[in-house]
Amino acid sequence: MSTLNSSGPQTADAPTPDDAFHEATGLDARESQPPHGSGDGDGPVLAADGRPLKQSLKRALRAQKLRALMLIAPLLIFVLVTFIAPIADMLFRSVENQIVSDTLPRTTQALAGWDEDSGAMPPDNILAAFTYDMVAAAERKEHTRLGTRLNYEMTGISSLFRKTGRRVDDFGETYLDQFEALDPAWEEAKTWVRLMGDPDWLAANADWAAEADAAGRDFDKPAPPFELKPGIAAALPETADAYAEFARITQVEDEDNPAEEEPWAPVYLALFRDLAKQPAPDFAALAAPDRALLAPAAQAVPDFETVALADLYIKADEDWADPEVWKTIKAFSPDYTSGYFLASVDLQKTVDGVSAQPEDRQIYMLLFKRTLFMSMVIMGSCVLLGYPIAYLLSNLPMRTSNLLLILVLLPFWTSLLVRTSAWKVLLQQQGVINDILVWAHIVADDARLVMINNQFGTIVAMTHILLPFMILPLYSVMKTIPPSYVRAAKSLGATNWTAFWRVYFPQSVPGIGAGCILVFILAIGYYITPELVGGTTGTFISNRIAYHISSSLNWGLAAALGTILLAVVLILYWLYDRLVGIDNVSLG
């Protein structure tokens, strides 16, 4: 190997296995060409153990790479688990929308076939599906969560769902009463469970109940999950579905026994709908007792007093009559939605497609533009103020420059809130600067300058706060610029300015690049300072993100806004790389 190294590419560094590897690849390449000159090139070069050199080198390298990977593994895993994964998870929320189809599975399916341009409420079959979904969601206390979610899209849905959730378990009571009048057996939990439940499950459940009674309070063995009787779903599809949902919720949410609970009213609604279907349902596959129970009911159903579901909903809240509500549910039925992203660029998603937000609600594009513009201004003023300071720092004698450096770092170590509040004291209308100006008769007492709670205040405060992030990389780069270059330029006849501009400045560009990237990226995501001193014209997009995270709980929109912000930063970074070159950035 040592012979190979000596003939390998000459670098100033000590030889590495990589060099050897390149060398070996080079050898291979030479082999594949017809030999000329040195004629001993038949067959691959072999290592001492007789394997091809390339292979054994690869093996040696793999082991080393593995070792390197294992060394960084703790950090890599740490970063992945605590940083990348949570961010990815959070950003993923910007498209996630399963809550609608999870909470209203039947409705979203039924609505897919609904003609949203009908201008009316959906027909009874969709409303029935919605009723089964709603009563289950209300029992699980999930309907209000969905209401909150949909309220982001249409104002008023929140209370619509909250109010309706309280009443929906009465929907179908008309049918409940009539079935009971027909045959009191319908009132019995046992009738239902025998009609619907799988015989094996019934037996297992009875055993479980007996065991529970015997054990008393501390019994915590889970009940056997409810199973439908084979064939019942074919004969009474809606009823079987509604009852199975009822049984599951009774078991899981209430920890009760379905064999002892009368089903909620919408199950009777389902039974009525099944029995009233044309052509009449076929009970041939059912056992005799079930047929005996259902046959008279099926006969009586055509004479039942009916109630339109639409009326029940309108009675619960007249907003249900508004087709817009149903359109919103339909538009947000899919598991993934572009709605949040559209909202974050002042568009809105409707069932007919994409349209602009009403003008009086457009804000995000304005804030994005403002955030970018102000971050640029802050970055620019940091360069202007930071460059001379960094120059001084790196050219003064050690003792003085250390003192200066401490002055730069001192505010850096001070709490952000303290510094921001200090600017308030300085800049406000009854503040220090205005007082001095009034005292010096530069401004009149009744015409004090407004320097805070606007863009100016934000720019001043943030420039001050971010200045160290500009000075430090500049300083570390300038420190490495040998003073002899400028002296040489001068000795060759350059003026002070030319020597600075043509010789010194180009060498300090990597520091400017690093400082600009740091300041800009920090500025773009700032929110405490703009919140405190920004007033109305100096707030950033991050203030809205914070609002949606902590106040409105619209995490989807916050995630979409955050994703866009991240994308903008990455694009700008890429642009910067193309224009300036990221190699020209030095953090010291």
Partner 1 sequence: MKLKSILLSTGIALVGAPMALAQEMADSMTLVSWGGAYQQSQINAYSDPYKEMHEGLTVVWDESSNEAVAKLRAMNEAGNVTWDLVDVTAADAMRLCDEGLAMEIDHDEMLAPAPDGTPASDDFGETIVSDCFIPQIVYSITFGYRQDMVGDTPPESVCAIFDTETYPGKRSLEKRPINNVEWALLCDGVPKDEIYDVLETEEGQDRALAKLDTIKDDVIWWSAGADTPQLLADGEVVMGSTYNGRLFSLIAEQGQPVNMLWDGQVYDLDGWIIPEGLPEDRLARAMDFVKFATDTQRLADQAKYISYGPARASSAPLVSTHATLGIEMAPHMPTDPANAQNTFLQNFEWWADYRDDLDAKFQAWLAK
Please choose, from the candidates 337, 217, 237, 232, the residue with its C-alpha nearest in 3D space to the C-alpha of residue 277.
Answer: 237
CB of 550 to partner 1, least distance (A): 4
CB of 557 to partner 1, least distance (A): 9
Taking CB under 8 A as the rule, does residue 16 contact partner 1?
A: no
From residue 570, give the alpha-carbon distance in Å to each of 375, 453, 521: 15, 30, 10
Angle between helices 124-139 and 143-151 (to 10 degrees): 110
Taking CB under 8 A as the rule, does residue 102 contact partner 1?
A: no
CB of 448 to partner 1, least distance (A): 10
CB of 291 to partner 1, least distance (A): 27
Taking CB under 8 A as the rule, does residue 429 contact partner 1?
A: yes
CB of 287 to partner 1, least distance (A): 27
Q: Which of residues 204-223 bind partner 1 (CB under 8 A)?
A: none
- Kindly tell me which residue out of 18, 19, 177, 256 binds partner 1, with binding defined by CB under 8 A: 256
What is the Cα–Cα distance from 111 to 405, expressed in whole angstroms?
67
**φ and ψ at 346, to 5 degrees?**
65, 30
**φ and ψ at 254, to 5 degrees?**
-95, -10
3-state secondary structure of 220: coil
CB of 475 to partner 1, least distance (A): 36
CB of 56 to partner 1, least distance (A): 50
Residue 245 near residue 234, CB atoms below 8 Å: no
| Residues 6+ positions from 525 with CB-CB distance below 8 Å | 542, 565
Q: Which pairs with CB-CB distance under 8 Å and at least 24 residues apart come from 296-303?
A: 296/182, 296/183, 297/179, 297/182, 297/183, 297/186, 297/271, 300/178, 300/182, 301/272, 301/275, 301/276, 302/276
What is the Cα–Cα distance from 408 to 475, expressed in whole angstroms?
11
CB of 362 to partner 1, least distance (A): 6
Segment interacting with partner 1, rule: CB under 8 A, options 3-11, 20-28, 35-43, 249-257: 249-257
Q: Which is nearer to partner 1, 552 or 584 (CB)?
A: 552
- H-type alpha helices, 416-504: 416-427, 432-439, 455-478, 483-491, 496-498
Q: Which is nearer to partner 1, 517 or 532 (CB)?
A: 532
Segment interacting with partner 1, rule: CB under 8 A, options 47-55, 70-78, 258-266, 286-294: 258-266
Q: Which is nearer to partner 1, 140 or 487 (CB)?
A: 140
Q: Which of residues 326-345 bind partner 1 (CB under 8 A)?
A: none
What is the Cα–Cα distance from 575 to 126, expressed in whole angstroms?
52
Can you name the residues that pair with 571 across neighbouring β-strands? Answer: none
Total interface residues for partner 1 by CB under 8 A: 48
445 DSSP assignment: G
Angle between helices 505-524 and 555-579 (to 10 degrees): 170
Q: Which is nearer to partner 1, 363 or 582 (CB)?
A: 363
Q: Which of residues 504-563 bind partner 1 (CB under 8 A)?
A: 531-532, 535-537, 539, 544, 547, 549-555
Q: Which is nearer to partner 1, 206 or 549 (CB)?
A: 549
**φ and ψ at 336, to 5 degrees?**
-125, 145
Q: Which is nearer to partner 1, 31 or 187 (CB)?
A: 187
Segment interacting with partner 1, rule: CB under 8 A, options 114-122, 256-264, 372-380, 463-471: 256-264
Residue 456 near residue 567, CB atoms below 8 Å: no
CB of 524 to partner 1, least distance (A): 17
- Kindly tell me which residue out of 371, 453, 476, 508 binds partner 1, with binding defined by CB under 8 A: 453
Mask for 133-172, x = binds partner 1 (CB under 8 A): --------xx-xx-xx--xx--xxxxx--x------x---
Residue 157 near residue 325, CB atoms below 8 Å: yes
CB of 429 to partner 1, least distance (A): 6
Binding site for partner 1 (CB under 8 A): 141-142, 144-145, 147-148, 151-152, 155-159, 162, 169, 254-256, 261-262, 264, 360-363, 366-367, 370, 428-431, 453, 531-532, 535-537, 539, 544, 547, 549-555
